[in-house]
Amino acid sequence: MGIHPKHIAVSGNIGAGKTTLTEMLAKHYGWQAEFEDVEDNPYLADFYGDMSKWSFHLQVYFLNSRFEQVNKVRTGDKTVIQDRTIYEDAYIFAKSLHHQGYFNDRDYKNYLTLFDAMIKFVEAPDLLIYLKSDIDKLVRNIETRGRDYESAIRIDYLQGLNSHYNDWIAKYKEGKLLVIDVNDIDFVKNQDDFASIVSKIDVELHGLFS
């Protein structure tokens, strides 16, 4: 591979395994990992307790954090793998919260205005990896990791997110896309499953940067 990718991103619903796969791929390839700010996020616990009250605050926080990450990726000299993309903030989470009535029209319009201004300065990832997962597996994974603030996540909220993910991925044209169905694999416990993912990524990257 003569030229190296600058930006790889891993996308998918809550509980799909994005963070774990990001960590594993960063270690395997020697990439720098950028993670979603959940541990230090000042709004997350409040949001899951009262989505209507805290949706706008949470989404603006995530949007700003992701925008800073993307700018750092493009100005740096290392290959970065990013846990979740700025597109998901707007096209999945903010959109779903608005559709489910947690994000009022005024706040949603204000949010989209901010996103539209930011996205003009954003370059798409060289490769977007989407982890496709059914609701049952998402719920099992969320329960297994046992984060207190996720205990209040509603099934209908996850279903709404999955629906928006399907729509977004079907229309994604910003760059190279690799869809990985994680329903029947365990890339953490099964080395062959992880090796299969790596093999697919290698094929995509060699095609991009041969």
Strand partners, 8: 81, 127
Distances (CA, A) of 47 to 40, 58, 166: 14, 7, 24
The active-site residue out of 50, 83, 107, 184 is 83
Distances (CA, A) of 56 to 37, 86, 93, 99, 153: 16, 16, 11, 14, 17
Q: What tokens were used for 83? A: 């846990």
Q: Is 136 an active-site residue?
A: no
Q: What tokens were used for 132? A: 């496709």
3-class DSSP state of 37 = coil
**What are the catalytic residues?**
83
